[in-house]
Amino acid sequence: MTKRLTRNMVAAYLQEIGIDYILVPPRAEGETLEDILAEIRTCRRCALCSGRSNVVFGVGNPRARLLFVGEGPGMEEDRQGEPFVGAAGKRLTRWINRIGFAREDVYIANIVKCRPPGNRTPLPEEAAACLPYLRRQIRAIRPKVICTLGGVALNFLLGNNDRITRARGQWRDLDGIPVLPTYHPAYILRNATREHEALADFDLLAERLRSG
Ligand code: SF4
């Protein structure tokens, strides 16, 4: 039977035979999504906490190469605790599948993790309160590419006032990570004639991911 030696046992043995041994602490691991989730579950940093049924943290592969960022949870997302689960979510999944990924391969998160009342746009102070969580998620996942869905996600994540109709399909940068803005799938459900533009943006995502 093989007996597993602990670090302390090795140290004691080496000291016994006259070799000074300094225990080096295990390498500090970076923060994980679980660490962030444990903190966010009880978050009351902004007023949106009062109306939530669930914190909608994010879903997908914690090592995803492709990260999607939306605006905030809607009614169904709030009920299920998962982002992009309604009709818009189904359309997003279809776009993801079209470029060769399963929904489970990518990661999907939002600017704010609690549902704004009546599905209104998050207020700047709500986005500012919640953005540090998203930034920590990005650091934990370390995606190769980020895709923002809709103008609100683009403006809050990159801190600009760009219009999505002009910005879509144009590469941006967030701390060295390429960011591609495209339309929110809910917008495309109401404006079907623009879907070809969103599909072209997804082709750009696929091309970027293939390149390395
Ligand atoms: S939206 Fe974000 S900052 Fe505001 S209470 Fe929810 S988790 Fe906290």
Model confidence pLDDT, tens digit, residues 1-11: 344 444 444 34
Q: Measured between alpha carbons, how far apart are the two ends of the chain, in Å?
A: 45
Check: CB of residue 57 under 8 Å from CB of residue 77: no
The single residue listed with the structure tokens 């991911």 is: 209
pLDDT of residue 2: 40
State how far the alpha carbon of 73 is from the alpha carbons of 115, 144, 181, in Å.
5, 24, 19
State how far the alpha carbon of 84 is from the alpha carbons of 100, 140, 161, 185, 193, in Å.
19, 21, 24, 9, 21
> Given pLDDT bands bounded at 50, 70 and 90, which one contains residue 167?
very high
* Separation of CA 29 and ligand 1 centre (Å): 26
pLDDT of residue 11: 43
Helix (H) or strand (E) holding 171: none
* Separation of CA 112 and ligand 1 centre (Å): 6
* Separation of CA 105 and ligand 1 centre (Å): 26
> Given pLDDT bands bounded at 50, 70 and 90, which one contains residue 127?
very high
Side-chain half-sphere CA neighbours of 77 within 13 A = 30
Q: Hey, what domains does the chain have and what are their CATH numbers? A: 32-210 (3.40.470.10)
pLDDT of residue 19: 46
User: How many of the other CB atoms lie within 10 Å of CB of 168?
Assistant: 22
**pLDDT digit string (tens) for 30-66?**
899 999 999 999 999 999 999 999 999 999 999 999 9
Q: Which residues contact 27 (CB under 8 A, 6 or more apart)?
A: none
Q: Which atom of ligand 1 is nearest to the CA of 72?
A: 1
The single residue listed with the structure tokens 């390498």 is: 27
**pLDDT digit string (tens) for 69-118?**
999 999 999 999 999 999 999 999 999 999 999 999 999 999 999 999 99
pLDDT of residue 29: 60
Lining ligand 1 with CB less than 6 A are: 40, 43-46, 48-49, 55, 112-114, 126, 129-130
pLDDT of residue 212: 73
Nearest residue CA, atom 3 of ligand 1? 130
Entry pTM? 0.86
- What whole-number distance in Å separates Cα of residue 155 and Cα of residue 104? 26
- What whole-number distance in Å separates Cα of residue 182 and Cα of residue 172? 12
- What whole-number distance in Å separates Cα of residue 86 and Cα of residue 94? 13
